[in-house]
Amino acid sequence: MERWKGRVALVTGASVGIGAAVARALVQQGMRVVGCARSVDKIEKLAAECQSAGYSGTLIPYKCDLSNEEEILSMFSAIKTLHKGVDVCINNAGLAHNEPLLSGKTEGWRNMIDVNVLALSICTREAYKSMKERNVDDGHIININSMGGHRMVPSADEHFYCATKYAVTALTEGIRQELREANTHIRATCISPGIVETEFAFRHHNSDPEKAAAVYESMKCLKAEDIASAVTFVLSAPPHVQIGDVQMRPVEQVS
C-alpha cells in the first residue's frame, strides 16, 4: 500500500457499514479519502476518530445524493478543484427494497437501479476521466458487489436487488475490457461478499426488525472490516496483477 500514500480515494456510501470500514482502512494507510453519503454526520465523526487515532491519511466528508447525477458531477468537480482528482474509486453505495418482480413498486425498482447501477456507472466514468486528465495510469476502480450478483437468492424480496448486482458483475467485466482497449494499466475489480453484519438488513427489512436480526443471528457473519481487508488486498497487488472478482462469504453460509 506504500504507493497509495497521499493519493485520493473516493468511497461512496461511507457513512456506515462497509463504506465506513473501507474509508477508515484507507485513511489508516495514508490515503486522502473523500467519503460521500446523503448525510455526512457519521462521516464527520469518523473523520475525527481517524484524526484522534493518529492515522497518516485524511477523511474528507462530502454530502452527495447518488441518485442525482448533478450532485455526483458537482462532487467530482469539487474533488478536482480541492484535491486534483480521483486515483481510486470505491463504488460501495447500494441499497435494497422489498419489491418482488411480480408485485413490486416501480419506484423501489427505479431507486435500486439509480443507486446500484447508474450511480456506480457515473462515478466510474467520472473517475476514469479524472485519471486520464492527469495521466494517471495506475488507478483502480473497485465495485462492492454481492454474492447476489452471481446467483439468485431464493427470496422474492431479493430478486430485483440481485438483478442490479448481476449488472455490477457485467459492468465490472465491461469496464475491464474497455480499459484494456484504451491501453491503460488502470484496473477494475469487484468484491462480492455474502452476508455481512451491517445495518443493511435492518434497512432492507425496516418493517420487520426481528427478521433482520434473524439474518445475522443465524451464523457467524462477515464483518465490514473483512471487506475493508479485501479492498486493501486488491489495492496492494502488484501493478501488473489484475484481480477481477473476489468472492467471499461466511463459512457457514450455504449459498
Each residue's pLDDT tens digit, 8-48: 999 999 999 999 999 999 999 999 999 999 999 999 999 99
Check if 161 is active-site: yes
CATH code of 2-246, in short, is 3.40.50.720
Burial profile 97-114: b = 16 or more Cβ within 10 angstroms, e = fewer:
bbbeeeebeeebbebbbb
pLDDT of residue 213: 80
- For residue 99, give the C-alpha cell: 419489491
DSSP SS3 for 244:
coil
pLDDT of residue 200: 76
Distance CA 14, CA 121 (A): 18
**Residue 191 phi/psi, 5° resolution?**
-110, 125
Could you tell me the sign of the dihedral formed by the alpha carbons of 140, 17, 229, 95, in that order?
Answer: negative
Domain ranges for the chain: 2-246
Is pLDDT of 132 > 90? yes
**pLDDT, averaged across the chain:** 95
Q: What is the SS3 string spanning 47-72?
A: HHHHHHCCCCCEEEEEECCCCCHHHH
pLDDT of residue 209: 76
Q: For the chain, how big is the Rg over CA atoms in Å? A: 17
**Active-site pick, 55, 62, 128, 161:** 161
State the DSSP code for 56: S
Which residues have C-beta within 8 Å of that of residue 103, sequence separation ≥ 6? none
Q: How many CB atoms lie within 10 A of CB 72?
A: 21
Closest by CA position to 67, among listed 106, 121, 143, 127: 121
pTM of the model: 0.95
Which residues have C-beta within 8 Å of that of residue 235, sequence separation ≥ 6? 1, 4, 88, 140, 142
Q: Name the amino acid, one letter, at 138.
A: D
Distance CA 60, CA 231 (A): 19
What digits encode the pLDDT tens for the residues 204-245?
A: 666 677 777 887 888 899 999 999 999 999 999 999 999 999
What digits encode the pLDDT tens for the residues 60-112?
A: 999 999 999 999 999 999 999 999 999 999 999 999 999 999 999 999 999 99
pLDDT of residue 207: 65
